[in-house]
Amino acid sequence: MLADAAGDPLEGPPAAAATLHRSIGLVQLTMIGISAVVGTGIFFILGTSVPLAGPSVVISFVLAATVAGLAALCYAELAGVLPVAGSTYSYAYASLGEGMAYLVAWCLILEYGVSVSAVAVSWGQYVNELTDALLGFSLPSAIGQPPGAGGVVNIPALVVVLLCSALLARGTRESAVVNAVMVVVKLAALAMFVVIALTAFRAHNFADFAPHGLAGIGAAASGVFFTFVGFDTVATAGEEVRNPKRTVPLALFFTLAVVTVIYVLVSIAAIGAQPADRFGAQADAGEAVLAEILRDVTGMGWPAVLLAAGAVVSIFSIVLVTLFGQTRILLSMARDGLMPQIFQRVDRKRHTPVHNTWMVGLITGTLAALVPLKYLADLTSMGTLIAFVAVAAAIVVLRRLAPAARRPYRVPFYPVVPGLTAASCLYLAYLLPGITWALFAAWLLLAAVVYLLFGRRHSLLVNRPRSGARGLKLSATPAGTAAGPAPEQPPTGLV
């Protein structure tokens, strides 16, 4: 990704570029972004964020979206400079070195792996809501609710992760049509909620708008940031987009704008229909908050059933795609020698990393079954925020190391925007609870120990023969990303 002794700085392999067709337009790319974001947490996050900020959670969503937007600008430049890399791990590897990239990768494991667990927890809540409405029964709280909400082991959360693992291990393929259908299902369910909830809107529910002041708004913003996970998929599609200099930043902007409007409308409708002090109690009881609001507003069960059905479908698709992303991060690290080789073994018949998929599924499923939702959501936000700090740092480093590199899109107002991105992400991370910081520190300590005991010894970068060339080299790129031809790999199964 950087420069070979006789190569161009930051130039991807010509062969790779020639095989990709620029066929994605602005609308298609925006739909991809909306599909990746909506459904990550909006179906349950109000239960934990409204108690922090009250009705001003609306401002918290806007603040979180602003921070995500700054990070999106940085992603857009990196996606043009390193168009084949396609992940924060690869960006960090090219600019910050292997050690920092390894820590960033472990942050991404939090972002993807822990978010799978968090989303799976809410899936179980809506499944219970659906079965209770349709069949008249729900699982006992001990096995049907998350710990901290009356449960001991959340069996539905474990089941959905294992189902998705089985599908991915068999070689699931997602078509553009299926993706579009999922977007319609998600938006239709949320639109129905907004329309029905607004019929019971009461302005006095907003009277005590910010009961905890700016501190509450900021704390809620750091928590709801979890709901914006996934927008970076837009930036990584730059090589297949028509006119990427214009299309990628516009798609990032439209994705965040549409998602923010949806989240603000949902939160206004929810708080307008129900006093803010009821959200925390519903979340603590393991209830599907949005479905309960519809039930209370209409006095009938069918709106809650439709919303629960939409949530079940939506959340299932998010678990599937996010679990896929987690397995591919570990596969990429294994190809660089930074993870055990079992994570990169691809089944010859199914063309998927079967062992990798099942190991990730079992670990994330166990987390979903045993860890309270609040901790999972906050850890996801922490991993995402720190990864975005690395993206902002990569912009600055690559501007210095390769100033002449071709950049289809440049971050405006450099270096102010990367600086604001890093500062705002660190600010939101600072507002997360102390227990989240303690768990995150323990996680990074574990990452450092694994790197020193395993990663350094097996790293392809550390152990390759020295070429004698000085300065930055293409070989500092993760294997098989943008640094020249890597051994051909079988298709990984999800298209």
Task: Give the pLDDT confidence score for residue 8 in this predicted structure.
Answer: 40
Alpha helices in 82-203 (DSSP H): 88-96, 98-109, 115-135, 141-144, 155-170, 176-198
Q: Is 207 left (phi over 0), alpha (psi -120 to 50) or beta?
A: alpha
Alpha helices in 336-372 (DSSP H): 354-370
Q: Which residue has the higher pLDDT, 470 or 112?
A: 112
Q: How confident is the model at residue 83 (pLDDT cuts 50, 70, 90)?
A: low
Task: Give the pLDDT confidence score for residue 72 in this predicted structure.
Answer: 84
Q: What is the pTM of this model?
A: 0.74
CA 327 – CA 346 distance, rounded (Å): 11
- pLDDT digits over 363-375, tens only? 888 887 887 767 7
Q: What is the mean pLDDT of residues 246-251?
A: 78
Other CB atoms within 10 A of residue 17 CB: 13
- pLDDT digits over 194-237, tens only? 999 999 899 999 988 988 899 899 989 988 887 887 776 676 55
Task: Give the pLDDT confidence score for residue 14 in this predicted structure.
Answer: 36
The enclosing H or E element of 222 equals helix 213-224
- pLDDT digits over 266-290, tens only? 999 999 999 888 887 777 665 678 8
| Of residues 425, 58, 464, 71, the one with CA closest to residue 230 | 71
Environment class of residue 228 by beta-carbon count within 10 Å: exposed (0-12), middle (13-18) or buried (19+)?
Answer: buried
Q: Which residue has the higher pLDDT, 1 or 310?
A: 310
Output phi, psi for 109, to 5 deg. Answer: -60, -40
Q: How many CA atoms lie within 13 A of 375 on its CB side?
A: 17
- pLDDT digits over 409-460, tens only? 788 888 999 999 999 999 999 988 888 899 899 988 988 888 888 877 877 7
CA 216 – CA 69 distance, rounded (Å): 21
Task: Calculate the alpha carbon distances from 55 to 4, 52, 271, 274, 276 in Å.
Answer: 55, 9, 6, 10, 7
Task: Give the pLDDT confidence score for residue 12 in this predicted structure.
Answer: 37
Question: Among 5-9, 77-81, 118-122, 279-283, which stretch is predicted with the lowest mean pLDDT?
Answer: 5-9
CA 271 – CA 224 distance, rounded (Å): 16
Q: What is the mean pLDDT of residues 315-329?
A: 77
Say yes or no to pLDDT of 156 above 80.
yes
- pLDDT digits over 164-181, tens only? 888 777 764 544 455 567
